[in-house]
Amino acid sequence: MHYYCISFTHKNTDIATREKLSFSNETKKKELFKLIHSNNKILESLILSTCNRVEIFLFLGEIEGINTHVLNSLCLLCGVDKEELNTKADFYENSGAIHHLFSVASSLDSLVIGETQIAGQLKDAYKFALQEQRCGVHLTRAIHYAFKCAASVRNQTEISKNPISVASVAVAKAKELLNLENKTAVVVGAGEMSELACKHLLNAKANVLVLNRDLEHAKNLCLNLGENAKYDSIANLKQALNQYEIFFSATNAPHAIITNDLLEEKDYKRYFFDIAVPRDIDVKANEKNIIYAVDDLEEVVRKNLILREHQAQIAYSIVGTMTNDFFKHLSKLATLPLVKQLRLQADEIAKKELQKAISKGYLKNSDHEEARKLIKQVINVFLHHPSVNLKKLSGTMQNDSVVNAMRYVFDLKNENLEGLNLYKCEFNLENNHEI
């Protein structure tokens, strides 16, 4: 059995290819699940798709042929050449895959190191994989530990102090280019990235106008943002484009929504910040239309990397330790070693008690062998049903909690209560209510 990851990120894949590989559409994600699971070597899967990455995390029965199968599936669904994908993708196996997952969850692999959105995006990807019954106990263990690792990185370093996101970097770039105070910035979309952009714009003393298809959603967002935030329908996008000069766009649209045909000639400069993947803005850049996409913000990102380099080194040390701890943790969760430990513990107690009985005269020394055989038979009978039931649980969501509970109850290797509710998450499966 193997953990495996196929990774396309801002480090190895250009934005044009990442746009084609984007799985913000749930229907498209379901189709990819279906395609990759047509290979019976793939037992579990999880797809993480953000503006900067597409990660396919897998749990496999066998690794051979998996690259070809998954890349073929991506080619079929996304229309990208297989050779192009093969040269761009990073492939991680077992400890490498877990180390990469933990680094992603801890925001060490992000375009902006220390940004806080990735943990929520990973959690959403995990929930969706569970809903689609593509993610089971093995990836659940890994994801749970990834969140644990991310928490350790946050608590033991300052890497997320004054957190930076792609949205904040975009606003920072806007502040370098012009004075935002009392200017109105148009923000297209009302999702998490748009909300972050709005907050940073308001902190820069700008006013914001949120354009969104769902007016109720936009209204609620502006109520939370305060009096300097207004909202309108995206149907009025053309009017806004030709009235204001600063634009941020972060929708989940599968195609560009700000295009040349919507723009009228103006005698002033307009600044466009596209923080969506796929890109929202398809406008010809010139001296009057200045456009920044996600990959154009690297200069600000590099400054962020320099400032956080020392903290990142500490964080990577934590990730390495947690990766090793995870595999030790897996060995403790196996049912067969637990059954063996129970038998060894019972046998050790029986030997001690038998010696006490002989030394106190409860048994004759000549009866020692018969008594030992009887005790062994009693132990076998007593542990038979627990052993059978533990084996039945192997590979299920309940397995780990039961194993941890038994370790605690029988004081095996001094386990504590920490693991008894191992996979508590704000998401419940119909047949596995506590995971």
Q: 34 vs 6, 53, 128, 279, CA distance in Å?
A: 17, 21, 14, 26
Average confidence score pLDDT of the chain: 86
**β-sheet bridge partners, residue 200:** none
Residues 6+ away with beta carbon under 8 Å from 163: 114, 115, 116
pLDDT of residue 433: 30
Q: Is 53 annotated among the ligand-binding residues? A: yes
pLDDT of residue 341: 79
Q: Which pLDDT tens digits describe the chain residue by residue (435 residues)? A: 899 999 999 899 988 899 899 887 889 999 999 999 999 999 999 999 988 899 999 999 999 999 999 999 999 999 898 899 999 999 999 999 999 999 999 999 887 777 778 888 999 999 999 999 999 888 998 999 999 999 999 899 888 776 577 888 899 899 989 999 999 999 999 988 899 999 999 999 999 999 999 999 999 999 999 999 999 999 999 999 999 999 999 998 888 999 999 999 999 999 999 998 889 999 999 999 999 998 887 766 666 667 677 788 899 999 999 999 998 778 666 666 777 778 888 888 888 888 888 888 877 777 788 888 888 888 888 888 887 887 777 656 566 677 777 777 778 764 444 444 555 544 443 333 322
Q: Which two tokens stand for residue 180?
A: 């935002």
**Spatial separation of the C-alpha atoms in residues 351 and 371, rounded to whole Å:** 10
- Residue-wise DSSP of 164-228: --HHHHHHHHHHHHS--TT-EEEEE--SHHHHHHHHHHHHTT-EEEEEES-HHHHHHHHHHH-TT
Q: Is 110 annotated among the ligand-binding residues? A: yes
Residues 6+ away with beta carbon under 8 Å from 89: 6, 7, 8, 12, 13, 71
**Spatial separation of the C-alpha atoms in residues 51 and 282, rounded to whole Å:** 16
Pairing of strands 42-49, 207-212: unpaired
Q: Which two tokens stand for residue 154?
A: 């946050």
- Model's pTM, two decimal places? 0.65
Q: Is 194 annotated among the ligand-binding residues? A: yes
Q: Is 62 annotated among the ligand-binding residues? A: no
Q: Which two tokens stand for residue 160?
A: 């997320």
Question: How does 194-223 read in b/e, with b if 16+ C-beta sit within 10 Å?
Answer: bbbbbbbbbebebbbbbbbeebeebeebbe
**Spatial separation of the C-alpha atoms in residues 379 and 352, rounded to whole Å:** 14
Catalytic annotation, residues: 51
**Spatial separation of the C-alpha atoms in residues 115 and 100, rounded to whole Å:** 16
Q: Is 259 annotated among the ligand-binding residues? A: no
Torsion of CA 168, 174, 180, 184, to 10 degrees: -90
3-state secondary structure at position 293? strand
Q: 57 vs 102, 124, 141, 351, CA distance in Å?
A: 12, 14, 13, 48
Contact criterion met (CB below 8 Å) for 57 and 32? no
Beta strands in 250-375 (DSSP E): 258-259, 270-274, 281-282, 289-293
Pairing of strands 184-188, 246-249: parallel
**Spatial separation of the C-alpha atoms in residues 169 and 117, rounded to whole Å:** 14
Q: Is 115 annotated among the ligand-binding residues? A: yes
- Residue-wise DSSP of 88-135: H-EEEETHHHHHHHHHHHTTSSSSSTT-SHHHHHHHHHHHHHHHTT--
Place of tokens 């995390």: 57
pLDDT of residue 310: 78
Pairing of strands 184-188, 90-93: unpaired
User: Rg for the chain (alpha carbons), in Å?
Assistant: 28
pLDDT of residue 163: 59
Question: How does 5-42 read in b/e, with b if 16+ C-beta sit within 10 Å?
Answer: bbbbbbeebebebbbbbbbbeeebbbebbebbbebebb
Which tens digits make up the pLDDT trace of 121-135? 999 999 999 999 999
Q: Is 19 annotated among the ligand-binding residues? A: no
**Spatial separation of the C-alpha atoms in residues 105 and 294, rounded to whole Å:** 20
Q: 355 vs 44, 379, 380, CA distance in Å?
A: 51, 17, 20
Q: Is 131 annotated among the ligand-binding residues? A: no
**Spatial separation of the C-alpha atoms in residues 164 and 114, rounded to whole Å:** 7
64: left (phi over 0), alpha (psi -120 to 50) or beta: beta
Q: Which DSSP letter does residue 359 get? A: H
